[in-house]
Structure 1
Amino acid sequence: MGMDRKEEFSAWMREYGLFFVGVYTGGNFIFPEILEEEIAKIEKVAKLASGLGAEHLVIGGGAVRSNGIQDEDYILLGKALDRIAEIAESNHLIPSYHPHMGTCVETPEQLDRLMSCTSINICPDTAHIEAGGGDPVETVRKYIGRIRYIHLKDYENGTFLPLGKGHQKFAEIINLLKEADYSGWVTVELDEYADPLEGAKISRDYLRKLDL
């Protein structure tokens, strides 16, 4: 992004009264031969995001080998995430790992294994947690001390949905955050929906009805 586009982006954010909450990026992180290239990319992303006023650097990834996941992969991923956390913090960003389908961190057991190998925060995406066989409420309860940012997304029958269209227990999740005096961002996400604007309105109306 050239300097002219940076200024254009910042002006657009001001015009619409938006906050630049954070950026998401990732990599394989378990292959030493390309790790330095991945780290260099993330360092570039972190500097750009920080310069534009972002607060969070969210990291996904951890490749799944063609012959299956090895326990060493969690050690390698954890070490890479610790390096990335240092890069984020040096750029005044809050680093968090985002468990995601299609990586080696899908299931609750895989998440626990990784979290034991790194000190980075966790950014739970409630729908990805459930899609991986986990309980979003229990995940938030277990890792509340390491949550600085969270994504809410509903889920049912293999589909990501606007809030209230699935069966997730968002009231319980939000109450857990309140009990922990959580003061960070809670972002409502939806990867795709037939009518994106309508999907956003459905989620907004659902949150208003919760009256939390």
Structure 2
Amino acid sequence: MTQASVGTQDKSRNPDPRYNMLTIGVCPDQWGVWFPEDDKQIPWEKALDEMAEAGFSVMETGPFGYFPKEPKRLTAEMAKRGFRVVAGTGWGILHKEEAWAETEKTFRAIAETHAAVGAEYIVHLPPLFRDDKTWQFVDDRVLSPQAWNLYVQNANRLGQIIKEDYGLKMVLHPHGDSHIETPEDIARIFEATDPAYVNLCLDTGHIVYGQGDPIEMVKTYPDRIDYVHIKAFDPDLVRQAHEEDWPFGEAVARGASVTPPAGEPDMQKLVDALAELDKELYVIVEQDLYPADQAFPLPNAIATREYLAQCGLGVH
């Protein structure tokens, strides 16, 4: 696929103009990547080549350090394959005073690189209370009132730094096994934070995992949804995961994250709901696949992109 032809894929050219505000993209999660470095993950050059082959041209870079951190090299590698970078991603602890210096340092580094390559968003992923790999508890499952208040204070503080110092927008990302998982958690954080600095990355899969309804959430938070991760989870496995208290990583290992049209949400209804917001949105295709058989992501991503195009997101 040529660079020019890849470039036509990111923006809908659907005869129905409702969908033309939605721009499809991809990130390394769709290729089974959760960590900057891990011997179970596909090498970044191969993943990037395959992402272009699958027909994507908009990129969220995923774990900082998986792709090159140096802006000129990152720009060159992306441009060579017809990509433009729209977002970076970072993990950072907000609810512990002693962790703030490291969180700020990490996000300043991510923001500096991504501002330099023309990105618009930084996605804040909450730290998990169970480790991604060992599945052991590493933090309190429920935050104390003091820790929660600090979480809110530092979310606003970090969003302000990212906006005022780097010209980027920060979006908080709900996540399984984190302190922002359920609809109640999400309502609580967005009632408390300042929309000038903190808004929502609507991750449809994690909202299903948190036993919420992403389509209802679109209707509830039309002004706070600035960015979207689109993916599906198997509701039966989600139910079992919560009933048996599986770690999130175990749920993924057992196949809870599925390829649309399998699972929830209903993608046609979701895309329609997003289109009805009538605002520009990046909609980033994801599927939690770590660790993935390296032969699986490419055909799986092609099938996903083609199905979403049938729903109005992107083009064939």
TM-score higher than 0.5 here? yes
5+ residue gaps, structure 1: none
Question: How far off is 1:66 after superposition?
Answer: 3.2
CA distance in 1, matches of 2:113, 2:312: 37
Alpha carbon RMSD of aligned pairs, Å?
2.1
Deviations 1:135-189 (A, max 9, x none): 1111121111111110100110241122212231222222222222121211111
Residues 136-147 of structure 1: pairs in structure 2 closer than 5 A: 136-147=214-225
Moved more, 60-69 or 30-39: 60-69
Give the SS at the match of 1:186.
strand
Residues 33-72 of structure 1: pairs in structure 2 closer than 5 A: 33-61=98-126, 64=129, 65-66=139-140, 68-72=142-146
Residues 76 and 62 of structure 1: CA distance in aligned 2, closer, same or farther (over 3 Å): farther
Question: How far off is 1:5 after superposition?
Answer: 4.5
Kept after mapping to 2: 8 A contact 1:28/1:63: no
| Aligned residue type for 1:173 | L
CA distance in 1, matches of 2:126, 2:141: 17
Residues 86 and 128 of structure 1: CA distance in aligned 2, closer, same or farther (over 3 Å): same
Residue aligning to 2:157: 83
Q: Which residue of 186, 194, 199 corresponds with 1:111?
A: 186
| Aligned residue type for 1:141 | K
**Number of residue equivalences:** 211
Are residue 24 (structure 1) and residue 89 (structure 2) matched? Answer: yes
Deviations 1:89-146 (A, max 9, x none): 1212121000111211111111111112212110011000010111111112111111
Using structure 2 for the length normalisation, give the TM-score.
0.62
Give the SS at the match of 1:122.
strand
Question: How far off is 1:74 after superposition?
Answer: 2.7
Residue aligning to 1:97: 172
Q: Which residue of 194, 199, 211 corresponds with 1:121?
A: 199
| Aligned residue type for 1:75 | N
CA distance in 2, matches of 1:67, 1:78: 17
Moved more, 104-113 or 166-175: 166-175
Residue aligning to 1:180: 277
Kept after mapping to 2: 8 A contact 1:62/1:77: no
Give the SS at the match of 2:167.
coil
Using structure 1 for the length normalisation, give the TM-score.
0.90
Kept after mapping to 2: 8 A contact 1:29/1:38: yes
Q: Which has the higher contact order (CA 8 A, sep 6+)?
A: 2
Are residue 197 (structure 1) and residue 298 (structure 2) matched? Answer: yes
Q: Which runs of 4+ in 1 moved over 6 A?
A: none
Kept after mapping to 1: 8 A contact 2:89/2:124: yes
Higher-helix-fraction structure: 1
